[in-house]
Structure 1
Amino acid sequence: MTQVIACIDGTEVSPAVCDYAVWASLRLDAPLEFLHVLDKSEYPTESNLSGNIGLGSREALLDELAALDERRGKLALEQGKLMLEAARQRAIEQGIDNPTRWQRHGDLVETLTELETDIRLLVLGKHEDHLSRHIGSRLENVVRTLHRPILITTAAFKEPQRVMLAFDGSATTRKGVEMIATSLLLRNLPCHLVMVGTASDENRAQLDWAQATLERAGFETTASLVDGEVERVLCDYRAEHGIDLLIMGAYGHSVIRRFLVGSTTTNVIRNASVPVLLLR
């Protein structure tokens, strides 16, 4: 059974990740699992320090260092277990029945790749220190690797009331429109369709199709075709219309693809003041 999987790491964004995952789980009527991956870079590994220690004290110091590493490893594991239990209790208090938890050693991307077929929605937190550590430092690799919808949260939870889809007429964003139309996640939320480009007949026809598709599914939809620089147009529109969830196709073959691929992917996630839902 596919489920909502929330990756938590004990940092300041974890409560928001938990709350957004609960919100998604309830709307999708899908099971919720909390995942903590104790990454190889975050816990001690065995090392040979014998060449750096004098002969007289080598054995004693090596034994002490080994014991210290073991204690650190056990402490990290115990801290993770407590964190997972706290997230589980938080979810139960918000109405989730029997949320599960899972802790493992390894690499975050490799772990999520193994779980990919079980993921209905992946929820990750964005750190405010420019994606420089923990989950944030590997977020772009996760986005590039997985082929599942990913919700990237901000540090504070706010229940989405108005959403915006960046639409460009590509196969990726057309599929995104169809996904939104059939998904329970965004049902009954006003949706703004924003296409960045010239006011050509082709662009207008594409935007009209997207609007009609969502309206047939019962969405209150506002469609706008705006000329300009993609990132600036989307950011300005979001601020002007009080959008609190941005939806984008993770990768495509158009101007939106150029907007997302490479360093711009990180820029979008870093600079967005609202959660970003990436569709695949």
Structure 2
Amino acid sequence: MYDSVLVPTDGSDHAARVARHALGLARWFDATVHVLSVVDVSATGGVFDAGGVSPAFVERLEDDAADAIERIESMADDDRVRSAVLKGSPAPTILEYAGDHDIDLIAMGTHGRTGVSRYVTGSVTERVVRQSDVPVMTARVTDRSEWTGGYDEILLPTDGSEAAAAAIDHALAIATRTDARVHVVSVVDVTTVAGRPTILAPNDILAKFESDAETAVETVAAAVRDAGLDVVTHVRKEIPSQGLLEYVDDHDIDLVAMGTHGRTGVDRVLLGSTTERFVRRAPVPVLAVGPDADGGSN
């Protein structure tokens, strides 16, 4: 499933937090870990006069990047880590590096250090999640995002679309390694299906959407059972991102695996916007899988 994992870092605690998950996954899948720090000289130069930044200042940025990489390298207990410091705009540089090195998974913090010496990880991460051809694991520093050696409860949201199904193989591969229970959940957005945020859908229309959601959930649940894993299914009627966050809290979820796109229109939630909102607020790691991601083999 994962032969190579990329961990971009800006030296923040958020980057270090998700790095521990990435290193754990790398051990499970016997993957090589690439640790990358991007020095954005143009962004830091923009706060100075037209003369730009001095060579000494650039050297300090590069030293900071090297320190950020060393912090991640110190977490590894073997020689599976490779590192690089590159200059450029962070998101494009990260994506280009991933393509050039056949990366199978990117792991990034959702927040980071700000100021002239760092890029703002939050906006960089969202851009990478939107544009990446490979899954992106995100995490921020919370009481529940610590790496504990495995996952017991994994949440797999679905809206029945092929894009949502892109996350299934990844969720199952990870769940199999850690013998986790998988929660398959579909959230019917009672405001979206009505066409207006202040109006609820009529009961007969809502019943059809609930039926569709139940079918979608059961289809995914069957795949989970076929993989020999325990499964729990739920259909909820809420605003999707809010409903999923509540589910994470109510069921002690350790990891969420979800598609980055989904069906649109009055009969479906838009997974894309749901995923972005969810990633920003999730108290646990989130594995966002785009529609072009290769599921590989378990």
Indicate whether the TM-score tops 0.5: yes
Task: Give the superposed CA RMSD.
Answer: 2.8
SS of 2:104's equivalent? strand
Deviations 1:197-246 (A, max 9, x none): 35544332222111110111122110111222212221211111111212
Please say if residues 33 and 81 of structure 2, whose CA atoms lie closer than 8 Å, have aligned partners that are also in contact: yes
Q: From 228, 242, 246, give the equivalent of 1:236.
A: 246
The separation in 1 between residues aligned to 2:232 and 2:175, in whole angstroms, is 19
SS of 2:108's equivalent? strand
Please say if residues 158 and 186 of structure 2, whose CA atoms lie closer than 8 Å, have aligned partners that are also in contact: yes
Q: Are 1:157 and 2:146 an aligned pair?
A: yes
Q: Are 1:126 and 2:123 an aligned pair?
A: no
* Range with bigger deviation, 188-197 or 75-84: 75-84
* CA shift in 2, pair 1:21/1:250, >3 Å: same
Please say if residues 19 and 72 of structure 2, whose CA atoms lie closer than 8 Å, have aligned partners that are also in contact: yes
The separation in 1 between residues aligned to 2:44 and 2:244, in whole angstroms, is 40
Shift of 1:177: 1.9
User: In the alignment, what sits opposite 2:123?
Assistant: 137
Which structure has the greater CA radius of gyration? 1
Q: From 267, 273, 276, give the equivalent of 2:283.
A: 273
The separation in 2 between residues aligned to 1:128 and 1:256, in whole angstroms, is 33
User: In the alignment, what sits opposite 1:210?
Assistant: 220
Equivalences for residues 27-46 of structure 1 within 5 A: 27-44=28-45
* CA shift in 2, pair 1:120/1:218, >3 Å: same
Please say if residues 18 and 285 of structure 2, whose CA atoms lie closer than 8 Å, have aligned partners that are also in contact: no
User: In the alignment, what sits opposite 2:81?
Assistant: 99
Structure 1 stretches lacking a partner, 5+ long = 50-65
User: In the alignment, what sits opposite 2:72?
Assistant: 87
Shift of 1:172: 1.1
The separation in 2 between residues aligned to 1:147 and 1:80, in whole angstroms, is 25
What TM-score do the two structures reach when normalised by structure 2?
A: 0.76
SS of 2:63's equivalent? helix
Please say if residues 5 and 106 of structure 2, whose CA atoms lie closer than 8 Å, have aligned partners that are also in contact: yes
- Which amino acid letter does the alignment assign opposite residue 107 of structure 1? S
Q: Are 1:22 and 2:23 an aligned pair?
A: yes
* CA shift in 2, pair 1:276/1:180, >3 Å: closer
Shift of 1:167: 1.0
- Which amino acid letter does the alignment assign opposite residue 24 of structure 1? L
Equivalences for residues 146-185 of structure 1 within 5 A: 146-155=132-141, 156-159=145-148, 160-181=151-172, 183-184=173-174
Q: From 214, 233, 258, give the equivalent of 2:270.
A: 258
- Which amino acid letter does the alignment assign opposite residue 90 of structure 1? M
Shift of 1:116: 3.3
* CA shift in 2, pair 1:87/1:178, >3 Å: closer
- Which amino acid letter does the alignment assign opposite residue 16 of structure 2? P
Q: From 53, 70, 78, give the equivalent of 2:63.
A: 78
SS of 1:97's equivalent? coil
More helix as a share of residues: 1
The separation in 2 between residues aligned to 1:133 and 1:265, in whole angstroms, is 22
